[in-house]
Structure 1
Amino acid sequence: MDVVQLLGLNVRHHRKLRGMTQEQLALECGMERSYVSDLERGRRNPSVRALGRLAEALGIEPRTLLDADQE
């Protein structure tokens, strides 16, 4: 699987685990909701800084967003 698609699946997975909407996650990260949506669909290639902000908002380590063993 492409790493950008993997990242998107993991963002969605962890966002849903926390009961967050895309809007809530975007607000926590200082991003647009459409950007979060594009990330989750594997249509955006995030910067390292964006990866860190997403991980912080989700309460996880950044490397978790690139882990292929997520459920």
Structure 2
Amino acid sequence: MNNKVKLARVKANLTQQELADAVGITRQTVSLIEKGKYNPTLKLCLQICYTVDERLDELFWIEREDFE
């Protein structure tokens, strides 16, 4: 998953642990999301977006050609 979660987290001045605590996951899960090695649920994506004050499409949008 190509996303901008790490950039948004840093912009919001949050550590991985602080973001994890805010959305109810582990720091390791945040790390995996940032690396694109974990596919979060829509609910978790929205929780992350609300926490870092970004829109869903800004952080998690995947272009159609990237699925191929």
Give TM-score, length-normalised by structure 2.
0.82
Structure 2 residues without counterparts, runs of 5 or longer: 63-68
Structure 1 residues without counterparts, runs of 5 or longer: none
Aligned partner of 1:62 in structure 2 is 56
CA RMSD of aligned residues (A): 1.4
Report the Cα distance in structure 2 between the residues aligned to 1:61 and 1:18, rounded to whole angstroms: 13
> Is 2:32 the counterpart of 1:38?
yes
Aligned partner of 2:19 in structure 1 is 25
The structure with the larger Rg is 2
Displaced runs of 4+ in structure 1, greater than 6 A? none
Report the Cα distance in structure 1 between the residues aligned to 2:60 and 2:39, rounded to whole angstroms: 13
One-letter code aligned to 2:19 = L
> Is 2:46 the counterpart of 1:52?
yes
> Is 2:7 the counterpart of 1:13?
yes
Report the Cα distance in structure 1 between the residues aligned to 2:54 and 2:12, rounded to whole angstroms: 11
How many aligned residue pairs are there?
62
